[in-house]
Chain A
Amino acid sequence: MTLLQGIAASSGIAIAKAYCLVEPDLSFTKQSIDNTDAEITKFEAAIAKSVEELKDIQKIAERELGAEEAAIFDAHILVLNDPELINPIKDNINAEKVNAEHALKETTDMFIAMFEGMDNEYMQERAADIRDVTKRILSHLLGVKVVNPSTISEEVIVIAEDLTPSDTAQLNRKYVLGFATDIGGRTSHSAIMARSLEIPAIVGTGEATTKIQDGDLVIVDGLNGQLHINPSAELIAEYETAAEKYEAQKAEWAKLVNEKTLTADGEQVELAANIGTPEDLEGVINNGGEAIGLYRTEFLYMGRDQLPTEEEQFEAYKKVLEGMEGKPVVVRTLDIGGDKELPYLQLPEEMNPFLGFRAIRLCLEEQEIFRTQLRALLRASTFGDLKIMFPMIATLGEFRQAKAILEEEKEALIAAGEKVSETIEVGIMVEIPSTAVQADQFAKEVDFFSIGTNDLIQYTMAADRMNERVSYLYQPYNPAILRLVKMVIDASHREGKWTGMCGEMAGDEIAIPLLLGLGLDEFSMSATSILKARSQILQLKKSDMVKLAESALEMGTAEEVMEAVQKACK
């Protein structure tokens, strides 16, 4: 039995067998073959197995994702049966007397190069399909298992180096009870996804993939960030009790689902949820979310090979707005770049992606992408209380330009006879220090602010949040951060506007008393954090928190602030 300490990324406890999601080793060497007939038979068997496997995956995909998503596997199966691919490989084995692996690679490389060389972006993407198929045949030739998370059909805990958004999208919620990764922090994508999927997770364990084998029994303690491998019977029993206790605590919080969020002295604030897809709505409703404070639309663009159409987007936005039944929904326009890539946009690699061409910067340049999204949003606006938010605004000029584009699209839609809501609030994310410092000027033009603390902290402290070695600088309670937050909130209130917060800090136990004291109007967090936050706020007096926040602003270090909060909220 082994214990790995990582970062608690999503709370809860899960006990199940490990499922290792690792890239298989498909290396081989070129070999001379005497018995070419036997080699061809081996090759044919690998093809047959690959077809069989794809048919299984297709069935599962059809059931879990729908017929449309599953259709791509038709093409994959046809590639496996393609005479123009298979015959040259067999000829190659015969003529050159080489092993099947080598013949396969040589032929598929030619096709991959051909597709990549085409001037049509869609066709270039097909090279990935051929790579995928090649990998599958190779794995059968070499007898190596290729993992495919969409085929998981028993309860497991997924172990991986990291999970990309498209990996997580493929995970079957019914069977994946939790996960643990080697790298990442509380704000990396895998962690955020785990919270929105409401499954326990630990990130940054360092060596989960090297210490854990497929089928090992593991315990994911998402409350303390501990990952136990092949635990003793006593420890399992202990954790089963802890899991029950946690469930009981959750049941206690659940009583607050329909309650207002009022402080002990009667001040009301709004507790909202961060979501990534319409599927997350259920969690928001079940956890008593009073609004959507952040709808991350980039998931619509990820895990696919071309941009989503206006219609697809419209349907998603409409679904969320209708699902919230008139409660506010803050939609953030496309925030791509940084750690979120879209391969099909083929953006050049950057030295400093977090300081580079991303979010609104990209949207103002690639206006067709931006305008398509805005049209979809405007058309959906009549189905609920839509608020539009631009990410990564650094200058007032950027905001004005984005707003002007929005107005243009709105007028064009109205001229075309479409209905558009007249009461859409337009706001910005505050995640760049320049915007926080100049919040007084922004407040005259925007309808609201939402502070994105993950990026605001990273930019203020000049510390890459993906780099574990500087993770000590991720200091939400640093007085410098608190002062920026105060500037933003005060600026908005002077103009009769409101300020929300949609970063991780908004759901943090230590930060909540401070934010309450600073006058934050809306707290947007993972749906699963809402009830806990509500039960905490019910106990706090706003007047006390104002005093606490005032003194925190004058403190020297984050540690002092943390201590003061813990003392005040005992």
Chain B
Amino acid sequence: MAEQKFTVIDEAGIHARPASVLVSTANKFQADIFLGHNGKDVNLKSILGVMSLGIGAGETFTIRAEGADADDALVELEKTLKNEGLAE
């Protein structure tokens, strides 16, 4: 299992476009990946789940991956978050 904490830096929070990119990245992996925010966990492979958290600018969230390629998934997701200027 791999887990990492992030802070949203995009002014608009996790809105539709970056959420799409994030979910598309997660979909490339076998691992089960979860997004945790305010005590709630959602499936990171679900765009509705990710959007439903309504994570705003400056807020923190965690990404947790379980399964064979969990570590790779987390590395790739971190890269995506940074490239998109979404979180750090």
Give residues in A with beta carbon < 8 Å to B.
71-72, 74-75, 78-79, 81-85, 111, 114-115, 118, 120, 122-123, 126, 129-130
- B51-59, B61-69, B70-78: which lies at the A interface? B51-59
Inter-chain CA distance A111–B48, complex, in Å, is: 8
Once A118-B54, A120-B56, A122-B12 are accepted as A-B contacts, the answer to whether A75 and B17 lie under 8 Å apart by CB is: yes
Given contacts A84-B43, A84-B46, list 17 more A-B pairs with CB under 8 A: A74-B20, A75-B17, A78-B24, A78-B47, A81-B27, A82-B47, A82-B49, A83-B45, A83-B46, A84-B42, A84-B48, A111-B52, A114-B52, A118-B54, A120-B56, A122-B12, A122-B15
Inter-chain CA distance A82–B54, complex, in Å, is: 17
Between-chain CB contacts (< 8 Å), 12 pairs: A71-B20, A72-B17, A75-B17, A75-B19, A79-B47, A84-B48, A85-B46, A114-B52, A115-B51, A118-B52, A123-B51, A126-B16
A82 contacts which chain B residues (CB < 8 A)?
A: 45-49
Contact check, B24 vs A74: say whether CB atoms are below 8 A apart.
yes
Nearest residue, chain A, Cβ from B46: A84
B13 contacts which chain A residues (CB < 8 A)?
A: 120, 122
A75 contacts which chain B residues (CB < 8 A)?
A: 16-17, 19-20, 47
* A contact patch SS: helix
B47 contacts which chain A residues (CB < 8 A)?
A: 75, 78-79, 82
Inter-chain CA distance A83–B19, complex, in Å, is: 15
Nearest residue, chain B, Cβ from A133: B48
Contact check, B23 vs A78: say whether CB atoms are below 8 A apart.
yes
A130 contacts which chain B residues (CB < 8 A)?
A: 48
Cβ distance A516 to chain B, nearest Cβ, rounded Å? 52
B46 contacts which chain A residues (CB < 8 A)?
A: 82-85
Cβ distance A43 to chain B, nearest Cβ, rounded Å? 17
Cβ distance A444 to chain B, nearest Cβ, rounded Å? 45
For chain B, which range describes its interface: under 10, 10 to 19, 20 to 34, or 35 or more residues? 20 to 34
Cβ distance A167 to chain B, nearest Cβ, rounded Å? 22
Counting chain A CB atoms within 10 Å of each CB, which of B23, B27, B47 scores highest?
Answer: B47
Cβ distance A384 to chain B, nearest Cβ, rounded Å? 31
A118 contacts which chain B residues (CB < 8 A)?
A: 52, 54
A78 contacts which chain B residues (CB < 8 A)?
A: 20, 23-24, 47
Nearest residue, chain A, Cβ from B51: A126
Cβ distance A82 to chain B, nearest Cβ, rounded Å? 5
Interface string of B26-54 (1 = CB under 8 A from A): 01000000000000001101111101101
B52 contacts which chain A residues (CB < 8 A)?
A: 111, 114-115, 118
Inter-chain CA distance A82–B16, complex, in Å, is: 14
A126 contacts which chain B residues (CB < 8 A)?
A: 16, 51
B19 contacts which chain A residues (CB < 8 A)?
A: 75
Inter-chain CA distance A413–B14, complex, in Å, is: 32
A123 contacts which chain B residues (CB < 8 A)?
A: 51, 54
Inter-chain CA distance A414–B43, complex, in Å, is: 50
A72 contacts which chain B residues (CB < 8 A)?
A: 16-17
A129 contacts which chain B residues (CB < 8 A)?
A: 16
A74 contacts which chain B residues (CB < 8 A)?
A: 17, 20-21, 24
B21 contacts which chain A residues (CB < 8 A)?
A: 74
Cβ distance B78 to chain A, nearest Cβ, rounded Å? 20
Counting chain B CB atoms within 10 Å of each CB, which of A71, A75, A83, A130 scores highest?
Answer: A75
Inter-chain CA distance A84–B49, complex, in Å, is: 7
B42 contacts which chain A residues (CB < 8 A)?
A: 84
Inter-chain CA distance A129–B48, complex, in Å, is: 11
Inter-chain CA distance A122–B12, complex, in Å, is: 9
Cβ distance B14 to chain A, nearest Cβ, rounded Å? 10
Nearest residue, chain A, Cβ from B12: A122
A79 contacts which chain B residues (CB < 8 A)?
A: 47-48
A81 contacts which chain B residues (CB < 8 A)?
A: 27
Cβ distance A268 to chain B, nearest Cβ, rounded Å? 51
Inter-chain CA distance A163–B2, complex, in Å, is: 53
Inter-chain CA distance A545–B60, complex, in Å, is: 72
Cβ distance B73 to chain A, nearest Cβ, rounded Å? 16
Contact check, B20 vs A120: say whether CB atoms are below 8 A apart.
no
* Chain A to chain B: the 6 pairs with minimum beta-carbon distance, closest first: A84-B46, A78-B47, A74-B20, A75-B16, A75-B20, A82-B46
Cβ distance B16 to chain A, nearest Cβ, rounded Å? 4
Cβ distance A290 to chain B, nearest Cβ, rounded Å? 42
B45 contacts which chain A residues (CB < 8 A)?
A: 82-83
A115 contacts which chain B residues (CB < 8 A)?
A: 51-52
Inter-chain CA distance A339–B58, complex, in Å, is: 39
Inter-chain CA distance A71–B15, complex, in Å, is: 12
Inter-chain CA distance A261–B16, complex, in Å, is: 51
Cβ distance A236 to chain B, nearest Cβ, rounded Å? 47
Interface string of B1-21 (1 = CB under 8 A from A): 000000000001101110111
Nearest residue, chain B, Cβ from A71: B17
Inter-chain CA distance A111–B24, complex, in Å, is: 20
B27 contacts which chain A residues (CB < 8 A)?
A: 81
Inter-chain CA distance A85–B42, complex, in Å, is: 13
Counting chain A CB atoms within 10 Å of each CB, which of B20, B51, B56 scores highest?
Answer: B51
B23 contacts which chain A residues (CB < 8 A)?
A: 78
Cβ distance B10 to chain A, nearest Cβ, rounded Å? 12
A120 contacts which chain B residues (CB < 8 A)?
A: 13, 54, 56
Inter-chain CA distance A84–B53, complex, in Å, is: 14
B24 contacts which chain A residues (CB < 8 A)?
A: 74, 78
Cβ distance B5 to chain A, nearest Cβ, rounded Å? 22
Cβ distance B19 to chain A, nearest Cβ, rounded Å? 7
Cβ distance A344 to chain B, nearest Cβ, rounded Å? 14
